[in-house]
Amino acid sequence: MTSPTSPAGEPVEPPFEVLVSRTLGSGAPLQLAELAPILAQDLADVDQRLQTVLRAQYPQLTDAATYACSTGGKRVRPLLMAALHRALGATTTRPILSLAAAFQLIHTASLVHDDVIDHAEMRRGRPSVPRAFGLPAAIVTGDYLFVRAFELAADYPRAIILRCGESCADLVEGEVLQEASRFDLTSGREHFFRVIERKTAAIVSAALASVAEIAGATPSIVDACATYGRAVGIAFQLRDDLLDVFGDPDLLGKPLYADFREGNPTLISLEAYQRLDPGKKIEFERLFALHRKAPGDLLRLRQLADETGASELVASEAEAWAERAVRAIEPIPASPYRILLERMARGAAVRTF
């Protein structure tokens, strides 16, 4: 394996202050802006904890694992965990650092394996791990990150470790369910939501419920945090599905139409399929079923989906899940951190295309 390099002079990841500022969004009230340096330090502390377990006996594996973590994106999960911990009254995130690092590693490992399964070439503007290091190394790297995640989780009580393990099992089940429905537009909404609840929402829900337990929250608050995490996870996934069809590839750092290309029935394609007239429905189904799609096929699928208004329907659904998340945390005492959690939930459903 050889270690790829980033373009000269370009940082692999923006500073944590930038990541937090982007999450707060433009026009954030002063009380939220004042949280930015605190949360940036929280993310830096989580990242430092994560880095302590990445070094392997073989430098090539260390390089691949470090590279995978450097394409980890916006660090939404550890940021949610830090904000929730502080919303529940904590003055330091030290008690959750290992757990936040563990869930970030689980998320990163799942992305590496997704890129293997989907034959992805790019991940956030850089070559994916399979492309950069080769397929066998990518598979091993994903496995290594999972193992290191559980090494970090071992710092916590058995109940939290079990929840972490169960969410990983859900993730794998979600991948199996998705694979079973590839190229099948008759799989339906219920199957789709079973997939994303396991592949995306379960991890976020488990992470936030665990944070609440560590903070000493009551069982009802723990359940509320789990509900918030599930709803936010679903909103994020619906938004990502929209961006895959209607987003800006330069901003996303990867080509569009991955779900069309790989035959993954998302809510966009499922709703479009149900709303097309019979002739166009047959055309949509034929194009979607192709295992090798030409660029024109992908553009035609987008055009047909756009004609049905499916994007507006999915956007509305994402917004509804975001509002469910906001309602779930109403029992948490009001504070700037709770406002931030509400803002992050609503931001999860915002379309940027």
Domains present along the chain, CATH in parentheses: 27-348 (1.10.600.10)
What confidence score (pLDDT) does residue 74 get? 67
Q: Which residue is it, tokens 């109403």?
A: 330
Its pTM stands at 0.92
3-state DSSP assignment of residue 127: strand
18 in Cβ contact with 337 (< 8 Å):
no
d(CA 210, CA 194): 22
Residues 6 or more apart whose CB falls under 8 angstroms from that of 222 comprise 209, 212, 213
Per-10-residue mean pLDDT, the chain, length 353:
40 65 71 89 95 93 94 80 98 97 95 91 89 96 96 96 95 95 96 96 98 98 98 96 91 87 96 97 98 97 97 96 98 96 91 53
3-state DSSP assignment of residue 269: helix
Centroid of chain to Cα 201:
9
Any long-range contacts for 324-329 (C-beta under 8 Å, 24+ apart)?
324/227, 324/231, 325/227, 325/228, 325/231, 325/232, 325/235, 328/224, 328/225, 328/227, 328/228, 328/231, 329/87, 329/224, 329/225, 329/228
What confidence score (pLDDT) does residue 3 get? 42
Q: Helix and strand tally (H, E) in the chain?
A: 19, 2
What confidence score (pLDDT) does residue 125 get? 81
Report residue 314: phi and psi, to 5°: -70, -40
d(CA 190, CA 196): 10
Residues 6 or more apart whose CB falls under 8 angstroms from that of 183 comprise 263, 288, 289, 291
What confidence score (pLDDT) does residue 348 get? 87
Buried b (16+ CB within 10 A) or exposed e, 283-316: ebbebbeeeebeeebbebbbebbeebebbeebbe
